[in-house]
Structure 1
Amino acid sequence: MAAFGQRLISLRHFQSTVCGKITKFEEDFIPEGWSRDQVDLDCSDIKQKPQKEVIDEAIDKIIRKEAEMGIKQESAEGLEDVEIAKRECQVDPKPCRLKSYWLCKNRTAQDIKLTRSHKQINYIASMMKEPTHAPEERTIDPNEVIITVALYHPLKLLKQQEFQVLGSQSLTALRDRLYCLADYLMDGQQTKSGFFLIENTFYNDMRLPENMDYSKFITDWVSDKARYTIPSVGMYSSKRMEDTTFLDLTIKIGHPYLYVHQGSCEHNIVFTEVRIATHMDVQTYSSYPRHIFQAKIRRRKCKICDIFPARYVTYRDRMATEDPFFFCEHCYRPLHYDFEGRVLYNDFEVFPYYHE
């Protein structure tokens, strides 16, 4: 009540102060010789509140504000009670005996950085649509074995492709689906030789008469001077790839094996899964080997227009600003050929460019 009286006294003092300032303002602003009687100031249409009504409204406003302050204070006290109840209900993790919990809690920033997963992006599975097949087409056996095998980059430890194959299929079915740029460079289209090395056995592709048995040089070297008796060398055997099915193999899940083609292009292949086929799998036999993963292939743009992908790469080219230099089809020919199709100069090397 004392606070209310103090506010009322302050309100009245404010009113008297403002009225005094207005009177002083009129005395300073009105010029000398001017009188209110000379001007017709008809203010009959203006309704002026009585002084008592103005004071009563101010008092009501103060009372409402105090009531709101009281409600807020009560709600704040209620929130404090809720927070206290939450703290009392929380379980202390110290009695927990799970080692994984404490290992996770006590990891350093370096450990978190090293154990952070790097998800590989699949550039085929999200957009791949299974082709339609005729109803009378051959379907897989209900007890068929499905094997998942991954192909890795020859220089980087990055997964490039992944396939699902059937246990009844030959190794050549997978070999024909594996993609490597080395098969398209120089005379790669004419060289079809290659082998898988799985558990000390070479599986050579001998479907064509001109194919070479790459493993013969290795097996002869091992047999010479009884080198197979050395523990780090061991004994090797050789079989034909087209005569061997995946069910004939003895493999370890997650173990890297070797795929070699084009003489010296070496890839790691890893068998990641072996299971029985289910009704959720693709049932048509011709869909296998089924391409389920493809890493992104980086392809450079033309360094002239920076719009189209490069088709040619040149070395020691006088028209290029750097070596090597990449051209698209639209920019390469105008710079190196005249209107009649004759080369302008030939003191450089040019090769077709595919991708990295």
Structure 2
Amino acid sequence: MEFSNSVLGCYISKPINIRQFKTENAYKVDQIKMSKINDRTVFEKLKSINPNADLTHLPDDINKWETELQKYNFQEVFDSPDALCARYVFPIYDTTSNNLQSLKIMKSDFYQIKKTKLYTPLPSFTPRGYIIPGETLLITISIYYPFHWTKHQFPDEAILPRCKKTIQFYDEQTLQDLKQGFKCENEESEISGDISKNPHKPLEYIVNSDLKHGLFYINNNLYVDTLPDRSTQMYAQTMKKWACDNGRPITNILSMDTKLLDLEICIGQPYVYQHLGRCEHLFIFNEISFAKSNDCLGQSGYPRVISVAKELLKNCIFCSKNVASVVMLNHDERTPVTVNHMCEPCFKSYNYDHLDDKVSNFKAFRCIKWRK
């Protein structure tokens, strides 16, 4: 595996054609037949060999040995040398040149900890939806929370993108499947506006608006949704013209139905997914390796979530029990601060009389999953 020059203290691989990597490194794995011999059959065989043998404590010893085996990591037995992996690579914007680059940081500062797989019994083989060990690639991708970047930001004030979750795909899945993995909280954003005059106003979500399409930017290529009205193609052409005018030409505009196997990517390089108009996510191809016998071998089990970041939701400032669902903006002395996060019951009981009339001048907006 060849690497490019160091970037901010880490190494990013040169572009890798995933299909070529699969063709050159695939190997055959002999299927292991599961034995139908149980403990009772083994004990009877031992008794037939030596009738005087004392097998009283043998079941307890077997359970003890199995418990001890679980403490060891047997993953190295199944590891393939033909695996591409980038760990502890954190994306960040270079504040001097305004380029999207990567920064290698200390392990203790990295929130995404990859859990090692422990030894488990081999899965039962199924004829349908079968992932073939040694021939099917498993692709691990880290997805980040949405971020907003501004020019000329100071290094100490730079907002580092935070990893949301890590998902594993198999090679025949498409970018559409990757798109479904971006469960963005902004899709649940409520856009009905100020509800202070009508607290019972129906919910209106941004995901139901005309901003349903999205696009991927991977290695100077745009991958867009294929909608009947061709609005995504027009949007991509506009972006391509803008990129060309600014010295960053876009090579091709392709469909989001492209398989992951047909991509050319760099291990550890941050790429961009954009949806809802201007909501941007970074994502990184962390690892590309061949499936092993102890992996999930059913295609229905993918995409498979490997790790998820913890979320702390903001509670109501009044009851401190319920999760805040309304943001109230108030400038008088009724509240200690201007921006108040409140739950629905506290919001209605504190700001409205029995006729649902406002008791003061304020504005209110709904919020979904407001994090601390």
Task: Please say if 1:323 is aligned against 2:338.
Answer: yes
Listed one character per residue, the Cα deviations across residues 40-90 of structure 1 (whole Å, up to 9, x for unaligned) are xxxxxxxxxxxxxxxxxxxxxxxxxxxxxxxxxxxxxxxxxxxxxxxxxxx
Alpha-carbon distance, 1:339 to partner: 4.0
Alpha-carbon distance, 1:344 to partner: 2.8
Partner of 1:321: helix, strand, or coil? coil
Residue 365 of structure 2 is matched in structure 1 by: 350
1:147 to 139, 142, 160: 139
Task: Please say if 1:189 is aligned against 2:207.
Answer: yes
Higher-Rg member (1/2): 1
Alpha-carbon distance, 1:159 to partner: 1.1
Residue 81 of structure 1 is matched in structure 2 by: none
Alpha-carbon distance, 1:182 to partner: 1.7
- CA gap 1:145/1:136 in 2 versus in 1, 3 angstroms: closer
Greater Cα offset, 250-259 or 319-328 = 319-328
Partner of 1:212: helix, strand, or coil? helix
Whether the 8 Å CA contact 2:125–2:297 is kept in 1: the answer is: no
Alpha-carbon distance, 1:269 to partner: 1.0
Aligned AA (2:186)? A
Name whichever structure is richer in strand by fraction: 2
Q: Matches of 2:108 and 2:220 in 1, distance apart?
A: 33
Alpha-carbon distance, 1:139 to partner: 2.6
Q: Matches of 1:216 and 1:270 in 2, distance apart?
A: 25
Task: Please say if 1:296 is aligned against 2:310.
Answer: yes
Listed one character per residue, the Cα deviations across residues 248-294 of structure 1 (whole Å, up to 9, x for unaligned) are 10011001111111111112111010011111111221221111121
Matches within 5 A, 1:73-88: none
Task: Please say if 1:212 is aligned against 2:232.
Answer: yes
Q: Matches of 1:336 and 1:195 in 2, distance apart?
A: 42
Alpha-carbon distance, 1:320 to partner: 2.8
- CA gap 1:121/1:329 in 2 versus in 1, 3 angstroms: farther
- CA gap 1:125/1:184 in 2 versus in 1, 3 angstroms: farther
Q: Matches of 1:134 and 1:279 in 2, distance apart?
A: 10
Residue 255 of structure 1 is matched in structure 2 by: 269
Whether the 8 Å CA contact 2:274–2:280 is kept in 1: the answer is: yes
Name whichever structure is richer in helix by fraction: 1
Matches within 5 A, 1:1-356: 115=106, 117-120=108-111, 138-142=129-133, 143-155=135-147, 156-185=160-189, 186=191, 187-190=205-208, 191-207=211-227, 209=229, 212-213=232-233, 214-222=235-243, 227=245, 232-242=247-257, 244-316=258-330, 319-339=334-354, 342-345=356-359, 347-356=362-371
Partner of 2:264: helix, strand, or coil? coil
Listed one character per residue, the Cα deviations across residues 105-127 of structure 1 (whole Å, up to 9, x for unaligned) are xxxxxxxxx8563252669999x
Q: CA RMSD in A?
A: 3.2
- CA gap 1:136/1:273 in 2 versus in 1, 3 angstroms: same
- CA gap 1:210/1:337 in 2 versus in 1, 3 angstroms: farther
Alpha-carbon distance, 1:163 to partner: 0.6
Listed one character per residue, the Cα deviations across residues 131-180 of structure 1 (whole Å, up to 9, x for unaligned) are xx996752323421110111123333221111101110011011012122
Structure showing greater relative contact order (alpha-carbon pairs closer than 8 Å, 6 or more residues apart): 2
Q: Matches of 1:317 and 1:283 in 2, distance apart?
A: 59
- CA gap 1:296/1:238 in 2 versus in 1, 3 angstroms: same
Listed one character per residue, the Cα deviations across residues 209-228 of structure 1 (whole Å, up to 9, x for unaligned) are 485343221223356xxx4x
Greater Cα offset, 346-355 or 307-316 = 346-355
TM-score (ref. length: structure 2)? 0.55
Partner of 2:350: helix, strand, or coil? helix
Work out the percentage of aligned pairs sharing the same amino acid.
25
- CA gap 1:199/1:123 in 2 versus in 1, 3 angstroms: closer
Q: Matches of 1:311 and 1:210 in 2, distance apart?
A: 36
Q: Matches of 1:208 and 1:249 in 2, distance apart?
A: 25
- CA gap 1:311/1:222 in 2 versus in 1, 3 angstroms: closer
- CA gap 1:239/1:207 in 2 versus in 1, 3 angstroms: same
Q: Matches of 1:144 and 1:315 in 2, distance apart?
A: 54
Q: Matches of 1:216 and 1:294 in 2, distance apart?
A: 35
Aligned AA (1:180)? C
Whether the 8 Å CA contact 2:329–2:362 is kept in 1: the answer is: no
Instruction: In structure 1, list runs of 5 or more residues that go unmatched.
Output: 1-113, 127-132
Aligned AA (1:221)? W
Instruction: In structure 2, list runs of 5 or more residues that go unmatched.
Output: 1-104, 118-123, 148-159, 192-204
